């Protein structure tokens, strides 16, 4: 309790003080969820970030990170899993701020049976089985409104805990499910739990050719991991105090450094 309070105070102070570099960068921030009550905080955070970055879509950010622009500071958002608030609260708040996002959804959390959905919420996401999730029409609506919809396996599984064949089926199956749901190709994938321990390289090699880009949840000093096959993202939540997000967003991540080094 005390440690947490000390950390929060430290982040508050450091977050206000940490200078933003002017270096060319492309930042990938990802989160999961927010409540209606957190809207004002997220608006303030978006206002702060806008002073330091140009907001871009995930597809645009992927292009930028690969072509390495000579100048500019870019930032994109993504949100994992498929909770209802992504559609109801996050998307409209982003749209109001002139920002967009990619939503990486576990296909069966959105399109699966009620029983499967409840077990994913309880057993994989360790949250209430009654927690509202997005529906297929909501995904389609977001896609038509210009948001990107990516996949996050069918059942939010740890891809290291099953066979390579099963893991490949979980990933490519979710890609097909999401494409069918939105009536458009699904070209982006983020793996559940997001660490190296959750993605055997053999699985990444099998699925990567089917996507424009694959995303981790590895916070690191380099843009890429897995020898350039995955793009790293930094965690934040829309309800975090603005100074805390500022602290992480101001962390230097030059595009030219460690392009192909593993971060974690
Ligand atoms: Zn997830």
CA of 70 to the centre of ligand 1 (A): 33
Q: What is the dihedral of CA 159, 163, 167, 173, to 10 degrees?
A: -150
Say what the pLDDT of residue 1 is: 66
Q: What is the pTM of this model?
A: 0.93
Residue 234 lies in a domain: yes
Residue 255 lies in a domain: no
What does DSSP assign to residue 257? S
What does DSSP assign to residue 192? T
Say what the pLDDT of residue 256 is: 61
Phi, psi values for residue 211, rounded to 5°:
-125, 155
Counting the structural domains of the chain, the total is 1
Residue 142 lies in a domain: yes
Say what the pLDDT of residue 47 is: 97
Record the tokens describing residue 59, joined without a space: 């597809």
Say what the pLDDT of residue 159 is: 98
Q: Please give the residue range of the domain that contains residue 225.
A: 2-249
Residue 103 lies in a domain: yes
CA of 193 to the centre of ligand 1 (A): 6
Residue 259 lies in a domain: no
Residue 263 lies in a domain: no
Residue 186 lies in a domain: yes
CA of 230 to the centre of ligand 1 (A): 16
235 forms bridges with which residues in the sheet?
A: 30
Could you read off the pLDDT tens digit of each residue along the chain, which spans 264 residues?
A: 678 888 888 878 877 777 787 889 999 999 999 999 999 999 999 999 999 999 999 999 999 999 988 899 999 999 999 999 999 999 999 999 999 999 999 999 999 999 999 999 999 999 999 999 999 999 999 999 999 999 999 999 999 999 999 999 999 999 999 999 999 999 999 999 999 999 999 999 999 999 999 999 998 778 999 999 999 999 999 999 999 999 988 888 877 654 444 433
Phi, psi values for residue 176, rounded to 5°:
-65, -40
Say what the pLDDT of residue 76 is: 97
CA of 179 to the centre of ligand 1 (A): 19
CA of 213 to the centre of ligand 1 (A): 17
Compute how many other C-beta atoms are within 10 angstroms of the C-beta atom of residue 94.
20
Residue 261 lies in a domain: no
CA of 192 to the centre of ligand 1 (A): 4
CA of 257 to the centre of ligand 1 (A): 28
CA of 69 to the centre of ligand 1 (A): 30
CA of 170 to the centre of ligand 1 (A): 14
Domain holding 123: CATH number? 3.20.20.370
What does DSSP assign to residue 133? B
Calpha distance 38→93 (Å, rounded): 10
CA of 21 to the centre of ligand 1 (A): 31
């Amino acid at each position: 309790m005390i440690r947490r309070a000390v950390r929060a105070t430290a982040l508050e102070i450091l977050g206000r003080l940490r200078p933003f570099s002017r270096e060319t960068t492309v930042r990938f921030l990802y989160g999961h969820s927010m409540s209606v009550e957190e809207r004002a905080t997220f608006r303030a955070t978006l206002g702060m970030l806008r002073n330091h970055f140009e907001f871009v879509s995930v597809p645009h950010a992927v292009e930028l990170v690969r072509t390495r622009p000579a100048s500019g500071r870019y930032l994109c958002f993504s949100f994992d899993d498929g909770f209802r608030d992504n559609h109801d609260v996050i998307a409209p708040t982003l749209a109001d701020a002139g920002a967009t996002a990619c939503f990486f959804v576990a296909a069966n959390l959105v399109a699966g049976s009620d029983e499967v959905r409840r077990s994913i919420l309880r057993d994989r996401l360790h949250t209430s089985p009654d927690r509202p999730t997005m529906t297929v029409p909501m995904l389609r609506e977001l896609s038509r409104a210009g948001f990107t919809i990516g996949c996050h396996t069918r059942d939010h599984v740890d891809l290291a805990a099953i066979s390579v064949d099963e893991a490949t089926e979980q990933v490519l199956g979710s890609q097909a499910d999401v494409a069918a749901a939105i009536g458009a190709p699904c070209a982006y994938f983020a793996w559940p739990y997001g660490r190296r321990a959750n993605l055997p390289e053999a699985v990444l090699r099998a699925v990567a050719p089917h996507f424009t880009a694959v995303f981790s949840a590895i916070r690191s000093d380099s843009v890429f991991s897995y020898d350039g096959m995955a793009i790293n993202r930094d965690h934040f939540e829309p309800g975090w105090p603005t100074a805390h997000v500022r602290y992480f967003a101001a962390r230097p991540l030059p595009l030219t450094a460690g392009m192909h080094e593993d971060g974690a």
